[in-house]
A and B are shown apart, each in its own frame.
Chain A
Amino acid sequence: MKETVIKTENLTKRFGDFVAVDAISFEVYKGEIFGFLGANGAGKTTAMRMLSGLSKPTSGKAIVAGLDVFTQPEEIKKNIGYMSQRFSLYEDLTVIENIKFFGGIYGLSDKQIKQKSEELIEQLQFQNEIKKLVHDIPLGWKQKLALSVAILHEPKVVFLDEPTGGVDPATRKQFWEMIYQTADKGITVFVTTHYLDEAEYCNRISIMVDGRIDALGTPRELKEKFSATSMDEVFYKLARGAKRSDN
Chain B
Amino acid sequence: MRIMKFVLQKEFRQIFRDKTLLKMIFIMPIVQLLVLPMAANFTVKNINLSIVDHDHSSYSQKFISKIFSSGYFKLAGDNPSFLESYVLIENDKADIILEIPEGFERNLTRENGQKLFIAVNAINGVKALVGSGYLNSIIMDYNNDIRSQLLQPTTFNLMPTIEVVSSNWFNPNLTYYIFMVPGILVMLITLVGGNMTALNIVKEKEIGTIEQINVTPLKKYQFLLGKLIPFWIIGMIIFSIGLMIARFAYGIIPIGNIGLMYAFLAVYLFTILGFGLLISTYAETQQQAQSLAFFFLMIFNLMGGLFTPIDSMPEWAQWITRLIPISYFINVMRMVVLKGSAFSDIQYHLLIVFVMGIILNGWAVINYKKTS
Alpha-carbon separation in the docked complex, A104 to B213 (Å):
12
Check if A185 is an interface residue, CB within 8 A of chain B: no
Of B208, B214, B217, B372, which one neighbours A107 at CB under 8 angstroms? B217
- Cβ contact within 8 Å between A54 and B214: yes
B9 — nearest CB in chain A belongs to which residue? A101
Residue B216, interface by CB 8 Å: yes
Q: Of B7, B212, B371, which contacts A55 at CB under 8 A?
A: B371
A175: interface (CB < 8 Å):
no
| B217 adjacent to A105 (CB under 8 Å) | yes
B2 within 8 A of A: yes
Give the chain A neighbours of B211 by CB distance below 8 A.
Answer: 54, 84, 86, 88
Name the A residues within 8 Å of B372 (CB-CB).
Answer: 54-56
Interface size class of B (residues with CB under 8 A): 20 to 34
The residue of chain B having its C-beta at the shortest distance from the C-beta of A104 within the complex is: B6
Whole-angstrom distance between the Cβ of B223 and the nearest chain A Cβ: 9
Known: A88-B208, A88-B212. A74 touches B9 (CB 8 A): no
The answer to whether the Cβ of B5 comes within 8 Å of any Cβ in the partner chain is yes
> How far does the alpha carbon of A54 sit from the alpha carbon of B370 in the complex, in Å?
7
Is A172 engaged at the interface, CB distance under 8 Å to the other chain?
no
* A93 touching B14 in the complex, CB below 8 Å, given contacts A54-B214, A101-B6: yes
The contact string, 1 if C-beta is below 8 Å from chain B, for chain A 71-106, is 001100110101010111111110001001110111
Q: Which of B10, B207, B217 contacts A93 (CB 8 A)?
A: B10
Residues of B within 8 A of A35 (CB): none
Neighbouring A residues of B217 by C-beta, 8 Å: 74, 77-78, 105-107
Taking a contact as CB atoms closer than 8 A, the residue among B6, B207, B208, B209 that contacts A105 in the complex is: B6
* A contact residues around B371 at 8 Å (CB): 53-56, 73
Question: 1/0 per residue B312-350: CB within 8 Å of A?
Answer: 000000000000000000000000000000000000000
From 185 to 214 in chain B, residues with beta carbon under 8 angstroms from any chain A beta carbon are: 207-209, 211-214
In the complex, what residues of A have CB within 8 A of residue B2's CB?
Answer: 104, 107
Closest to B15 in A: A92
Complex Cα distance, B13 from A97, in Å, reads 9
Are B6 and A87 interface neighbours, CB within 8 A?
no
Contact yes or no, A53 B6, CB < 8 A: no
Decide if A84 touches B13 in the complex (CB within 8 Å).
Answer: no
State in angstroms the CA–CA spacing of A89 and B17 once bound together.
Answer: 16
Query: A86 with B6: in contact, given A93-B13, A105-B218 (CB under 8 Å)?
Result: no
Are A84 and B216 in contact, CB atoms less than 8 angstroms apart?
no
CA distance A105 to B371 in the complex (A): 18
Closest to B7 in A: A105
Within 8 Å of chain A (Cβ to Cβ): is B18?
Answer: yes
Q: Which residues of B contact A105 (CB under 8 A)?
A: 3, 6-7, 213, 216-218
Bound Cα distance from A106 to B213, whole angstroms? 10
B215 interface residue per 8 A CB criterion: yes
Please report the C-alpha to C-alpha distance between residue A107 and residue B222 in the assembled complex, in whole angstroms: 13
Interface string of B350-372 (1 = CB under 8 A from A): 00000000000000000000011
Residues 7-41 of chain B: 1 if any A CB is under 8 Å from the residue's CB, otherwise 0? 10110011001100000000000000000000000
Q: Which residue of B lies closest to A75 (CB)?
A: B217
Q: Please tell me if the beta carbons of B13 and A106 are within 8 angstroms of each other in the complex.
A: no
Instruction: With both chains docked as a complex, state the minimum distance between the C-beta of A104 and any C-beta of chain B, in angstroms.
Output: 3
Q: Which residues of B contact A87 (CB under 8 A)?
A: 208
Given contacts A90-B10, A90-B14, contact A104 B3 (CB under 8 A): yes
- Chain A residues near B209 (CB-CB < 8 A): 88-90
Decide: A91 near B207, CB < 8 A? Known: A56-B372, A78-B217, A82-B212. Answer: yes
CB distance from A159 to the nearest CB of B (A): 8
Known: A54-B371, A97-B10, A105-B6. 18 other contacts (CB 8 A): A54-B211, A55-B371, A55-B372, A56-B372, A77-B217, A78-B217, A84-B211, A84-B212, A88-B208, A89-B209, A90-B209, A101-B10, A104-B2, A104-B6, A104-B7, A105-B3, A105-B216, A105-B217
Q: Which residues of A contact B (CB under 8 A)?
A: 52-56, 73-74, 77-78, 80, 82, 84, 86-93, 97, 100-102, 104-107, 159
Q: List 10 A-B contacts (CB under 8 A).
A: A54-B215, A54-B372, A73-B371, A78-B217, A90-B10, A93-B10, A105-B6, A105-B216, A106-B216, A107-B3
Nearest first, the 8 closest Cβ-Cβ pairs linking A and B are A104-B6, A86-B208, A88-B212, A82-B215, A78-B217, A77-B217, A105-B218, A101-B10
